[in-house]
Structure 1
Amino acid sequence: MGTGRGRAVIVEAVPRHVEAVNRLVLYALTAAQACQLRAIVGRILDAVDVEGGMTPKPGP
């Protein structure tokens, strides 16, 4: 899972990363766009096997 120092760097970066994603992506969307993004992300997650290393599942 990495070194203790590497983990500390990640933990330190998380708040700034979350703030940037919120500001640049989520807060920039209208409510309708946020719903569309939620649906799109859901489709993407359904199409990949997250536990198996992001292996694409067969398409329709």
Structure 2
Amino acid sequence: MIDGQFDHVGKIKGPILRGLSARARYFHNGSAPTLLEAVHFYEIRFGLVLTPQEESDLVAFLSVL
């Protein structure tokens, strides 16, 4: 839900994550050359606090999709 209206659920489809690691250079402008840099971007953007192990685990998970 983007705007809180129940009938809008499922109206927008995001990109699939399958094969994500094979499509290096992330974001619309290719500003993140690696998955780790993409993870770091979102940590800063949304104020996430991930340990180095959590970052590594997330990158490993995304790499096998």
TM-score by length of structure 2 reads 0.34
Higher share of residues assigned helix: 1
Task: Please state which structure has a larger fraction of its residues in strand.
Answer: 1
User: Bigger relative contact order, structure 1 or 2, given CA contacts below 8 A and separation 6+?
Assistant: 2
TM-score (norm 1): 0.36
